[in-house]
Amino acid sequence: MKDGLPPRRCAALAYATILRDRRALEPALEHTPGYRKMSDRDRAFARAILATTFRRLGQTRKVLDHFLAKPLEETTEYAAALLVTGATQLLWMDGPPHAVVSTTVALCQDTTETYGLKGVVNAVLRKVSTEGADLAARTAPRDNLPDWVSRSWRKAYGPGALSRITNVQMQPPPLDITVKDPVERERWAEALGAEILPNGTLRRREIGDITQLPGFREGAWWAQDAAAAIPATLLGVKAGDHVADLCAAPGGKTLQLAALGARVTAVDDNEGRLKRLRDNLSRTGLRAAVAVEDVRRFRPKGPADAVLLDAPCTATGTMRRHPEAGWIKKPGDVQRMSKLQLEMAGAAARMLRPGGWMVICTCSLQPEEGEQLAARLLETRKDLKPVAIQDGEVPGLAEAITPEGWLRLTPALWADRGGMDGFFAARFEKSS
């Protein structure tokens, strides 16, 4: 039993941290006591528990509420974490029920508050193990969205699309890959056992340790969701063009632009995330200037031929890969981020030469951070005009082009192939 304690403890502690501090999953795990000391196998197990917990959080809470005398929210933080992560394993993972229950009960000894709740945790989890499956069958994937997200998406996309999106989000995502040299795409697809998606992204169903896959160490490719790979292709960049990539870290779009032969300046105010960008540049042998600065204050040495702004956002479009994303955001974050996005888009426009193109994008499914943002930008920047995205620029995704000529990607697209992240992109030209 002791063998299963450390990863389950880490998962429970990280779960509590994520909700309390509104922290992303990976950083929360990395800073959880004991996590770095575990074996690779145990770290992977802890990560799997945590990812599944947030992917199925709404359904799991509904099952637990059936057996609890008071709402889960009124339970002590660590006890709630143990109940949720334990129930997740029983309902959605393949672990032996006896081992899950016994190890979770044993973890109650970690604190004085939970020690006295051993009996409650044991009784509830035993009921989940025997009766929980029937209760879970009465829930639906859409239950795994926070209420404010569910209301927003239902209004924006309709109930049918909402169901399709949430169905895709319940499945662990595949590994998406952007190849540095398109000429080598078929070669690397064969070497990696991947399919080639209509936009040129390689998709591999099994992820594993990507650093051990063929071509990684030599820098032949990088991991990048299919949706995230599209905005950079909309700039029409040519070799030698001066391109500003704003909010660039961790660097997937920078690498795409540099691979085209553009003179790229990657701008971001997060030094930690920029380290990953620099590491990726070094690994792939691609070149770009890097500036650690707030986009709103950055001034390039000369007007840019093209500007790409991947603006910070609520990231609700990434819940497929980052299932905690919706749970650590609040409705007020949407308004706060959309204001910041408009400021950054205005700054980006000032960097652009007359006749140059700018693409703004967000990995959000909130209309305030997409369609409404683009409309507000046109209202505030009379020197910008929209440049409609054409069917041929987004192979297999014609249905994602809006009447305005913008691009609205949702996880439901290419659902039979594993879906994609939610993204919005709009393109503009600066007048003289």
Q: Are residues 244 and 129 in the same domain?
A: no
Residue 381 has pLDDT above 90, yes or no: yes
Give CA–CA dist 284/62, Å, rounded: 46
Amino acid, single-letter form, for residue 129: S
Asked if 409 and 397 touch (Cβ cutoff 8 Å), the reply is yes
Residue 370 inside a domain? The answer is yes
Confidence of residue 74 (pLDDT cuts 50, 70, 90): confident
Q: Span 319-332, mean pLDDT?
A: 95
153 in any annotated domain = no
Residue 234 has pLDDT above 70, yes or no: yes
Q: Give the amino acid at 127.
A: K
Q: What is the pLDDT of residue 73?
A: 81
Residues 9 and 128 in one domain: yes
**Interval 281-310: pLDDT, tens:** 999 999 999 999 999 999 998 999 999 999
In this prediction, residues 14-37 reach a mean pLDDT of 96
- The pLDDT tens digits of the residues spanning 130-153 come to 999 999 999 999 999 999 999 999
Q: Assess whether 272 and 417 both reside in one domain.
A: yes
pLDDT over 80 at 323, yes or no: yes
The pair of structure tokens assigned to 393 is 């620029």
Instruction: Map residue 429 onto helix, strand or coil.
Output: strand
Q: Which CATH number goes with the domain that contains 424?
A: 3.40.50.150
CA distance 389 to 84: 44
Q: Is the pLDDT of residue 416 over 70?
A: yes
Among 145, 225, 143, CA closest to 178? 225
Q: What is the pTM of this model?
A: 0.93
Mean pLDDT (whole number) for 117-130: 96
302 is a domain residue: yes
Nearest CA to 199 out of 227, 220, 162, 171 is that of 227
Provide the token pair at 149.
Answer: 């997200």
The predicted pLDDT at position 398 comes to 96
Q: Is 313 a catalytic residue?
A: no
Model pLDDT, residue 2:
60
Question: By three-state DSSP, how is residue 183 classified?
Answer: helix
Determine, yes or no, domain membership for 187.
no
159-169 vs 147-157: helix axis angle to the nearest 10?
A: 130
Q: Does residue 126 sit in the same domain as residue 259?
A: no
- pLDDT tens for 341-357 read 999 999 999 999 999 99
Residues 233 and 115 in one domain: no
- For residues 251 and 134, membership in a common domain is answered with no
118 and 264 fall within a common domain: no
**Domain count along the chain:** 2
What's the average model confidence in pLDDT over 188-195? 97
Domain that holds residue 124: 2-139
Answer yes or no: do 253 and 385 share one domain.
Answer: yes
Report how far apart the first and last C-alpha atoms of the chain are (Å, whole number): 71
Dist. CA 137–CA 283, nearest whole Å? 46
Asked if 268 contacts 274 with a C-beta cutoff of 8 angstroms, the reply is yes
What tokens does 63 get? 């099952």
**How far does CA 7 lie from the centroid of its chain?**
23
Amino acid 22: pLDDT: 95
Q: Is 131 domain-assigned?
A: yes
Does the bond joining 250 to the residue before it have cis omega, within 30 degrees of 0? Answer: yes
Inter-residue contact 172 to 51 (CB < 8 Å): yes
If asked whether residues 106 and 231 sit together in one domain, one would say no
3-state secondary structure of 118: helix
Residue 164 inside a domain? The answer is: no
For residue 111, give the CATH number of its domain.
Answer: 1.10.940.10
Q: Scanning the structure block, which residue is given the tokens 């990048």?
A: 224
DSSP H stretches of helix in 193-293: 252-259, 271-284
Considering the domain architecture, whether residues 111 and 240 belong to the same structural domain is answered as no
Question: Residue 70 has what pLDDT?
Answer: 85
Helix axes 77-92, 118-137, angle to 10 degrees: 40
User: What proportion of the chain, given as a percentage, has pLDDT over 70?
Assistant: 99
Model pLDDT, residue 153: 97
Q: What residue type is 347 in one-letter code?
A: A
Do 234 and 109 reside in the same domain of the chain? no
| pLDDT value, residue 94 | 87
Residue located via tokens 């319940």:
170
- Position 1 pLDDT exceeds 70: no
Helix, coil or strand: residue 226 = coil
- The residue among 116, 139, 162 that closes a domain is 139
The reply to whether 167 falls in a domain is no
Amino acid occupying residue 256: Q
The average confidence (pLDDT) of the chain is 96
Residue 200 domain flag: no
With contact defined as beta carbons under 8 Å apart, do 426 and 341 qualify? no
Using the Cα atoms of residue 146, residue 152, residue 155 and residue 156 in order, give the sign of their dihedral.
negative
Domain boundary among 84, 117, 139: 139
Same domain, 374 and 265: yes
Distance between CA atoms of residues 112 and 13, nearest Å: 15
Mean per-residue pLDDT for 369-395? Answer: 97
CA–CA distance from 31 to each of 5, 12, 27 (Å)?
18, 13, 6
Domain boundary, last residue among 115, 139, 163? 139
> Does 432 score more than 60 pLDDT?
yes
Given 10, 108, 313, 363, which residue is catalytic?
Answer: 363
